[in-house]
Amino acid sequence: MADWTSLNYVVVDVEGNGQRPPDLVELGAVPIVDGIIGKPMSWLIHPKRPIKYFATRIHGLTNKDVADAPVFTAVKEEVLRALGGAALVAHNTHIDVGVLDRELGDWQQPEVFDTLKLARRLLPAQESYRLGVLVETFKLAEQLPEGLTPHRASYDALVTARLFVRLATLSGARALSLEELHGDSPDGGVDEASALF
């Protein structure tokens, strides 16, 4: 059985403008190749509609911050190159994938792994599966590059990448197979994984 490192991944996080459905204001992407986390990439995007106050309270981005940013179509090809040929990873993927589907149009969505679902399956005793709680529990924000702050796309994508690698390697004991990562093994790897975290 192939282990999880046989695939390349890109971990994504999106920040929106608080509208319904949300327009993209920032996209972060972090590659994972051969099991190694790469450098984060990010794009500020000028949204079609203004950023609402409550969205600014979460991620800190204001309409002034994105006033001179490109519209998404100007960076679309660059984003597609960053996402190309890799499985997609995000925490609570339906939000991030939903925004990407709307922005990328005829994009062929790759295989998707949700660290929220993985954590629920592999860490059944965990009290909360919110990203911030998991980051604190497993100290995933230690020694991050300077300038990254919580709830910004690069930060969230990078800590999600660290969470994914931690889950996929059973806390360093061994690498999960792709079948275990998908939950296709008879027990989904739950008992062994939860004992190791």
pTM of the entire predicted model: 0.91
Q: What is the pLDDT of residues 20-61, one digit of tens each?
A: 989 999 999 999 999 999 999 999 999 999 999 999 999 999
Q: What pLDDT is stored for residue 195 in this prediction?
A: 34
How much is the pLDDT for 63?
97
Where the chain has pLDDT below 70, the residues are 171-172, 185-197
Count of Cβ atoms closer than 10 Å to residue 193 Cβ: 24
Determine the CATH number of domain 4-196.
3.30.420.10
pLDDT of residue 190: 44
The pLDDT value recorded for residue 170 is: 76
Place of tokens 């998404």: 72
Geometric angle at alpha carbon 166, from 164 and 168, rounded to 5° = 65
pLDDT value of residue 193: 40
- DSSP collapsed to 3 states, the chain: CCEHHHCCEEEEEEEECCCCCCCEEEEEEEEEECCEECCCEEEECCCCCCCCHHHHHHHCCCCCCCCCCCCHHHHHHHHHHHHCCCEEEECCHHHHHHHHHHHHCCCCCCCEEEHHHHHHHHCCCCCCCCHHHHHHHCCCCCCCCCCCCCCCHHHHHHHHHHHHHHHHCHHHCCCCEHHHHHCCCCCCCHHHHHHHC
Q: Indicate the domain borders of the chain.
A: 4-196
Name the nearest CA neighbour of 173 among 194, 145, 152: 194
